Amino acid sequence: MIWDEIEIPKEVRHFMLEGAEETVLGQKNGAKKQYRYGNLHIREYDDKYLVHMDRVDPRKDPLGHLVQDAPEILVGIASAIITANKVSSSVSKLQKNMPFAKGTSLFAGLLASVIAGYAGYSLTKKLKEF
């Protein structure tokens, strides 16, 4: 959950905490750069900074960060894996004696995993907003 995100317009205050480190960890959401300072996550845009506090610093506890602050990623991954397995297995059983059965089942599983993963991620992200 993103706790209250604070917007700081650059025209009001151009700032960066001393000791804040540029990072690739986190969703950029269109930001030019992003920084971390402990649990503080700072996104820099052309005209503003968006700042929020995460519960867990992903540099110290990546899994804890996913569970506490970004469960939508875990749900998306789990949805993709489970769906890929089920669809691939079902298609393989239906087409076991047909040519290209293995390729077809792998393709169907991959396609279903992308759709289910994105759906699980998106739904969980929307639920977090409530």
pLDDT for 27-48, tens place per residue? Answer: 888 999 999 999 999 999 999 9
pLDDT for 65-90, tens place per residue? Answer: 999 999 999 999 999 999 999 999 99
DSSP for 56-113, written as a single string = S-TTT-HHHHHHHH-HHHHHHHHHHHHHHHHHHHHHHHHTTTSTTHHHHHHHHHHHHH
Map out the domains of the chain as residue ranges.
6-53, 70-128
DSSP code of residue 12: T
- Bridge partners for 44 per DSSP: 33, 49
CA distance 19 to 37: 7
- Bridge partners for 53 per DSSP: 40
